[in-house]
Amino acid sequence: MKTAWLVGQKVGHFLAVLFLSSLVLAGLLWFSPGSPGKARDPMNFEGAVVDTTRVCITRTDCGVLRSVPTTPPKSVDVLFGDDLRTFPATDVVTQGGAAIDYDTVKLRQDAVCVGDECGVLTTYPAAGPRTVTVEVDGVLEEARAMDALAPGPGFLAWFGGVFWGGVFTWDIGPAYNGEPVLGLVMEGAKFTLPIVFGALLLAVVVGLLQVAFLTWLPFPSMRGVLRTAMLGLSTAPVFIIGYFMTKAGILPNPDVWWIAPLACIAILSLGDSNLGELLLQMEGEVRRLRSRDYIHAAGLRGASAFKHMLPGLVLPLSSIGAAKIAFLLGSVVIAEVIYSVPGLGELSLKAAVKPDPLLLVTITVFITAVVGLVALVRDLLEIAIDPRVRKAQEGG
């Protein structure tokens, strides 16, 4: 029961972090020029009620509708011989003096008269701009009805209804290219997640091998030199390693699809200090474990120290990995662009340039969810493996 409560706490923490991170992003978006709360759709005046309906005359200036759209007099062109003149449509009559039915009258055929002069119509009544009056901050403003915009949704309506409601109904809306946002994110994740987890796995394995080599090395003075060399190599930014790899001929090949993702995994695991930091952290953990009495005892009994150290390394390794995932999910942007992998990184850059804030928010929340999920798995692993965590909970 206590363990279930502990697990519930961790899951609750994950959900709270996920919700709050999306809230912060939505708040940031709300104050940006591309805020979804700003008016952008044309106003439909059917059913609009004077003194009640809200209308925007620009993307940010909204107010209450004070007058319904009115149509100024329409005009027509009438040809008298060679003389073309424009008159208000209501001034033009038939030869008998009756009002003209503009739905049936034929251009350049049926005779029409204005006063004493008669001629033929060359145009139908031009549609004049309809105008509306809107009270914005106590000032009456007049605008063309076709320019008027419908007010955007409120923050809570957008965040709760459009965004999270859309996540649950799997329909947030279209992206910049017309495709559904969630579909694009899921397609990108198919590339990005294997690359990121593959890079982490490769870095951990290579790091462990290096730690084993440095521990075994019979010349202690060489350890510092080798460690520094590895750190120096690992400090190279991902883009520089990617650049040199492409210059060396490792290029994306449409016929061999796995070259680009593998190259991304390689440069991600090595660059941006990823391997160097992992090496230092793992070396520290191994050194700490080697100084423990039970490892000494195992060594004295002739048992494999590595075998006894391995269970003790699981939790530190999972902690290091969980902390590294967020960093790798950032660096993957560079690797994906260099190798033209259509993952989340490349997609986020496209969304930033277009710009498509909704897609950008969705990608970021997805990435945050992945980071949180990895941390949750690490916490659950700790609860399962480390009895001290459970005992601490039971002890209150």
Residues in contact with other proteins by the rule CB under 8 A:
13, 16-18, 20-21, 24-25, 28-29, 32-34, 228, 231-232, 235-240, 243-244, 247-248, 272-273, 326-327, 329-331, 333-334, 337, 348-349, 351-357, 360-361, 363-364, 367-368, 371-372
Instruction: Identify which of 4, 1, 13 has the alpha carbon closest to the alpha carbon of residue 376.
Output: 13
State which residue, 28 or 146, has the beta carbon closest to other proteins.
28
Q: Tell me: cis bond preceding 36? Omega within 30 of 0 counts.
A: no
144 forms bridges with which residues in the sheet? 131
Alpha carbon distance 394, 1 (integer Å)? 10
CA dihedral 83, 88, 90, 93 (to 10 degrees): 0
Instruction: Tell me the CA end-to-end span of the chain in Å, nearest whole number.
Output: 13
Smaller CB distance to other proteins: residue 53 or 60?
60
Q: Which is nearer to other proteins, 87 or 243 (CB)?
A: 243
**Measured between alpha carbons, how far is 320 from 332 in angstroms, rounded to an integer?**
18
Least separation in angstroms between CB 10 and other proteins? 12
User: Could you give the CA distance from residue 227 to residue 283 in angstroms, rounded to a whole number?
Assistant: 10
* CB 143, min distance to other proteins, A: 23
Name which of 210 and 362 has its Cβ closer to other proteins. 362
Q: How far is the CB of 352 from other proteins (least distance, A)?
A: 3
Distance of CA 314 to the CA centre of its chain: 33
H helices present in the chain, as ranges: 2-30, 155-156, 165-169, 181-216, 220-234, 238-247, 259-270, 274-290, 293-300, 305-338, 344-353, 357-385, 387-394
CB 374 within 8 A of CB 322: yes
Minimum distance, C-beta of residue 219 to other proteins, in the bound complex (Å): 15
| Minimum separation from the CB atom of position 36 to other proteins (A) | 11
Residue 250: in which H helix or E strand, if any?
A: none
Question: Is the CB of 67 or the CB of 235 nearer to other proteins?
Answer: 235
In this complex, which beta carbon is closest to other proteins, that of residue 63 or of residue 357? 357
Measured from the CB atom, is 78 or 265 closer to other proteins? 265
Measured CA distances, 177 to 152, 173, 298 (Å) = 22, 11, 62
User: Measured from the CB atom, is 28 or 384 closer to other proteins?
Assistant: 28
- Minimum Å distance from CB 226 to other proteins? 14
Contact 274, 324 (CB under 8 A): yes
Structure tokens at 268: 């991600």
In angstroms, give the least distance from the CB of 183 to other proteins: 20
Q: Which is nearer to other proteins, 67 or 246 (CB)?
A: 246
* Short-list 50, 30, 26, CA closest to 38: 30
Rounded least distance, CB 21 to other proteins, Å: 5
Smallest separation (angstroms) from other proteins to the CB of 33:
4
Residue type (1 letter), 109: Q
Joined together, the tokens standing for residue 282 give 């793992």
